[in-house]
Amino acid sequence: MKLLTSTRLGKLHLHNRVVLAPMTRNRADAAGVIGAMTVRYYAQRANAGLVITEAVNISAEAKGYPMTPGIWSAEQVEAWKAVTRAVHAAGSTIVAQLWHTGRVGHSDVRDGRLPVAPSAIAIQGQQHFTPTGLKDYEEPRALTTDEVRATVDDYERAARNAKAAGFDGVELHGAFGYLPNQFLVDACNQRTDIYGGSIANRARFVLEVMERLVGVWGEGRVGIRLSPTLAYNGMVDSDPLATFSYLIQELNALPLAYLHLMRATPDAARFPHWPKDTITAFAPLFNGATIVNGGYDRASAEAAVTDGAAQAVSFGAPYVANPDLVRRLEVDAPLAVADRSTFYGGGERGYVDYPTLEGGAPPAARGYWLVQATVGDPSRFAAYTTVAGPLIASFGGRVLARGDVAEVVEGEVPRRPYFVEFPSYAAARSCFRSAGYQDAVALRAGAAHFDIVIVEGLAPPPSGA
């Protein structure tokens, strides 16, 4: 299956084309800090080539739902480090989805503060999930121009925090009716400043945020998720083809990792002038890699990557109930059905207790997998180790023969073999196949002899070896 072959999305290396879609699960604490259960949840599903986290609030002001995680505080960042380490140890790549809910919130979730939005226009015909039950949406407070700019700053800070937490990149949540989507759609953006009116002005907020994210992460490590043909949360644009075509063409000027497109079109009958096929209408406009999402099964996902419609396919609900989804797709096994009553909030039930094909809980990655490296000419090796040392650590690797990674990076490089321990073969393989490692290799190309041998099941060397 081509779906199970490796690919690159910008600088992101995927060992298969199956992506864990971002899914809100409401398992953080009241301070927006995730715990060990969330680490286990992502580790179980790190068989995906790319893991995209649930949406993560960029600030306290961004929060719209209870028990959702954040990435603005030091405690939140520290908690996410455990997730990135676990996913890297399992051999996968992980990006954080950055979130501002905008008007999709309620004062009951925000310590009495009204939600904010481009304009003071409430969502009609829906209710919001609060700690005390479903409630009608309130009229949000319109952001001032200065507050819009401050929100762009918040996205940049969140991107820096994501880097500190060990993520491989970030994705802007520009879909499903949240704040970036609200700026784009004319039904909820009635502003008269530089962020409202024309399509170019309504796209300005998203483009400014994306420029900041790329400024933090550099080339090939920032993605964006869009849902051009989804009217949920009041996203009714008068001309989504024109609006999103303009946005995507402007995004082509940035060195992005991917465009993540939701193909959902449940509102097509209500809006006959909207594009009937989201992927056909918008994916060809983007110059880079595309991830597609929305109701794909084994056959349609394989067709999407085989036909070139996308480089990868993201799965939401199927991954909730099938933590070993990649294996099930590989052998064409039946998929378990998720219990939707446990999607939002609660404990382990419906979160980390779904069995694998073998009938047990997904195993944790553990065991000794060692890499032996021989350095013949270390004259230019310091530049390599400055990059490679922290990278090895980010995949759960630890240099045993010379102590920790920092000691190898800062000290004299030995002219003898040394050993790197990884928690799994997959982690070692992903590390040495990663774009970051290839960048490190380029720093010592032609200057150092560096042989890598994967040694499975070898015991660690004695202390001081």
DSSP letters spanning 235-271: ---S-HHHHHHHHHHHHTTS--SEEEEE---TTTTT-
Q: How far apart are CA 310 and CA 288, in angstroms?
A: 10
Query: What is the CB-side half-sphere exposure of residue 440 using CA atoms within 13 A?
Result: 20
Q: Which has the closest alpha carbon to 182: 112, 111, 104? A: 104
Amino acid at 277: D
DSSP letters spanning 142-154: EPPHHHHHHHHHH
Beta bridge partners of 20: 51, 315
Of 65, 178, 351, 354, which residue is the catalytic one?
178
For residue 320, what are the contacts with CB-CB under 8 A and spacing of at least 6? Answer: 23, 338, 343, 350, 354
178 is catalytic: yes
Q: How far apart are CA 223 and CA 291, in angstroms?
A: 10
Q: Which has the closest alpha carbon to 427: 86, 167, 163? A: 86
Instruction: Give the 3-state secondary structure of residue 137.
Output: coil
Q: How far apart are CA 105 and CA 102, in angstroms?
A: 7
Q: Which has the closest alpha carbon to 229: 184, 190, 191? A: 184
Q: How far apart are CA 200 and CA 250, in angstroms?
A: 9
Q: How far apart are CA 53 and CA 121, in angstroms?
A: 29
CB-based burial, 178-196: b 16+ in 10 Å, e otherwise: bbbbbbbbbebbebeeebb
H or E, element range at 223: strand 222-226
Instruction: Give the 3-state secondary structure of residue 12.
Output: strand
Alpha carbon 204 to chain centroid distance? 23
Indicate which residues carry an active-site annotation. Answer: 178
